[in-house]
Amino acid sequence: MMKWANVKLFALNLWHNATTPKTFYLLYTIFILLTAYAAVSSIQNHIIQNDIRKDHQVKARQSWEANPDKHPHRMAHFGTFAFRINSILGIFDYGLESFTGNTVFLEAHRQNSVNFSEATFSTGTLRFGELSLALLLQLVLPLILFFIGFSSVAADRQNGTLKILLSQGATWKEILFGKSIGLLGISLLFYIPIFLIVTITFLVFGDQAVKDFRWTRLLIIGLGYLAFLFVVSALTIIVSTSSSNPKNALLRLLGIWLLLVVLLPKSAQAMGNYWFPTPSKLAFQSAIEKEAIQKGDSHNPDDPHYNKLRDSVLTAHNVSEVTDLPFNYSGFVMREGEKITSNLYKKHHANLINIYRNQNDVTRFSSFINPFTAIKQLSMIMAGTDFSSYIDFQYQADTYRYQLAQAMNELQMEYISPKKKSGSEGKTHVVGHEHWEEFSDFSHKPMTFSNSIKEAFPILTSMILWIIIAFGLLLFTSKKARAI
């Protein structure tokens, strides 16, 4: 049985030992300064970036609305831009923000690439990493905990304190749990300021009108890191207990850090990339092109698919020429063409996304062998800066693109004279400019909370598993541990 009074005693003892040396305060000050720097630069960057994007969204819209009366197909090509808005939790965890494009041009017939990621405009130094609050918690804080805790049991063993403690009636369980809790307490000293900064940023800068479940997300992130810090604290104490001397304990902990933080995540992603190769852009595009030609090429005057379509439309309306139809036939053909090519693109794009998902799954499921990956993934997903949030943006943009193209095709069918067979030039066959305003602007909605949870489900499972493993290992070590 564990006596809670004893557990508390060991926790306080570790706390006291850790916070006595002057170096602790030096370390703490450095960490807080880093936190302040990371917070200021990420809040600043977040605001600047979102302002730039919102500003350009407005500018792009203004030019759209400023168009005079014209042929709707011209408007379908005039198109518009979708700018990706970074979620408010992006100030905490940049996630993929710097590696995903933020601007896509939306027009009829064409699915353009999402351009201008930070990485495109950066030198190779970006790959060293980015200083975010999440990085401090995921990468630096564990190291600090290792530095503080590596000798906590090993040193007691070396100087004989352990023997005395155990002979006076303390149990290994009490020592291990007590010290783990003590170390967790120390980690809170580092963790709470960061958590407070994010909360305050929410209150000060956050646009409260946006329904993005930010508080729930923050709560999950908060609990996630708490669990993570517990796992790291327990791990430190376990390694310290099972090492013969403090030096070995430190070397082992550093080895673990290097393996779990640097090598494993990098190799996991590299393996995913190796097993599920991404096709080249040309292969991707030409596969769509080939299939589109098979399905029917609206540009080819002798295309059987469109000839058949024309004949059936003519028969249905009981006329012999397309110019006698009650609507503009060219608009009709374009609507049909857009439908076919969009579906094709969607199908191929879904395949591509599946390849990416397969690549990423290697990393995702490595959460079950790597708690550092687990928290990294959870944090990114809940911050809305992960892969699925980016794909969600692409999807929203493409859906808008399709609606825009089809709205213009329908305007053409309705308002352009059936006698106008083709071409969109000139001032005679036009649609009133009031229609441009009617079609509302693109606005990037944050990823829904339920989708994020779905995405995070395996990660949450692995987090729970890690807590259980940490408990199990503490118990296991307490049975095996030797005092000498």
Partner 1 sequence: MITYKLFLKQCIRSKEVWISLLLIILLGIIGIIIGNKHLERQQQAIAEVNSYQEEHFDRHVSLHNDDLGLLLYYANFAYINTLNPLAGLSIGQADVNPTVKRITIKTFEAQKFDTDLVNPMNLQSGNLDLSFVIIYLFPLLIIVLTFNIVSEETETGTWRLVAIQAKSRLGFIISKLLVRLVLLFAVLILVFLIAKFVLHIPFNANFLLMIGLSLLYIIFWFTLTFFVITFKKSSGFNALLLLSIWLVLIILFPAGINAYISSKYPVPEALSTAIAQRDGYHTKWDTDKLATIEKFYQHYPQFKKYGYPTDGFNWLWYYAMQQMGDDDSKTQREALDQKIKLREQTSMQIASVVPNMHLQLAFNQIAGTSMGQQIDYLEATHAFHEKLRLFFYPKIFEGKHADTIDWDQFTPEYYEIESKVQPTKYLVPLLLASILMVLLSIPKARKV
Q: What's 168's DSSP letter? A: T
- The residue among 286 and 315 lying less far from partner 1, judged by its C-beta, is 286
Q: How far apart are CB 211 and partner 1 at their closest, in Å?
A: 26
Residue 160 to residue 262: CA distance in whole angstroms: 36
- The residue among 381 and 474 lying less far from partner 1, judged by its C-beta, is 381
CB 260 within 8 A of CB 172: no
Q: How far apart are CB 410 and partner 1 at their closest, in Å?
A: 20
Helix (H) or strand (E) holding 22: helix 22-65
**Partners of 104 in beta bridges:** 82
Residues with Cβ within 8 Å of 426's Cβ and at least 6 positions away in sequence, in order, are 71
Residue 432 to residue 178: CA distance in whole angstroms: 76
Burial of residue 182 (number of CB atoms within 10 Å: 0-12, 13-18, 19+): buried
- The residue among 200 and 251 lying less far from partner 1, judged by its C-beta, is 251
Residue 398 to residue 178: CA distance in whole angstroms: 55
- The residue among 359 and 478 lying less far from partner 1, judged by its C-beta, is 359
Give, rounded to a whole angstrom, the gap between the first and last alpha carbons of the chain.
23
- The residue among 3 and 247 lying less far from partner 1, judged by its C-beta, is 247
Tell me which residue has tokens 């305003």: 437
Tell me which residue has tokens 């030019």: 63
CB 334 within 8 A of CB 108: yes
Q: How far apart are CB 214 and partner 1 at their closest, in Å?
A: 22
Q: How far apart are CB 352 and partner 1 at their closest, in Å?
A: 6
Structure tokens that stand for 420 in this block: 């106008």
Rg (CA), the chain: 30
Helix (H, G, I), strand (E, B) or coil at 29: helix
- The residue among 167 and 422 lying less far from partner 1, judged by its C-beta, is 422
- The residue among 170 and 411 lying less far from partner 1, judged by its C-beta, is 411
Q: How far apart are CB 38 and partner 1 at their closest, in Å?
A: 7
- The residue among 204 and 282 lying less far from partner 1, judged by its C-beta, is 282
Q: How far apart are CB 482 and partner 1 at their closest, in Å?
A: 22
Residue 405 to residue 416: CA distance in whole angstroms: 16
CA angle 67/72/73 to nearest 5° reads: 115
Helix (H, G, I), strand (E, B) or coil at 484: coil
- The residue among 270 and 369 lying less far from partner 1, judged by its C-beta, is 270
CB 350 within 8 A of CB 264: no
Residue 41 to residue 131: CA distance in whole angstroms: 9
- The residue among 173 and 420 lying less far from partner 1, judged by its C-beta, is 420
Q: How far apart are CB 128 and partner 1 at their closest, in Å?
A: 3
Residue 143 to residue 372: CA distance in whole angstroms: 12
Q: How far apart are CB 200 and partner 1 at their closest, in Å?
A: 19
Please give the backbone phi and psi of residue 68, each rounded to the nearest 5 degrees, phi first: -75, -175
Structure tokens that stand for 446 in this block: 């944050």
> Identity (one letter) of the amino acid at 230?
F
Q: How far apart are CB 417 and partner 1 at their closest, in Å?
A: 16
CB 414 within 8 A of CB 327: yes
Q: How far apart are CB 219 and partner 1 at their closest, in Å?
A: 25
Q: How far apart are CB 4 and partner 1 at their closest, in Å?
A: 33
- The residue among 178 and 246 lying less far from partner 1, judged by its C-beta, is 246
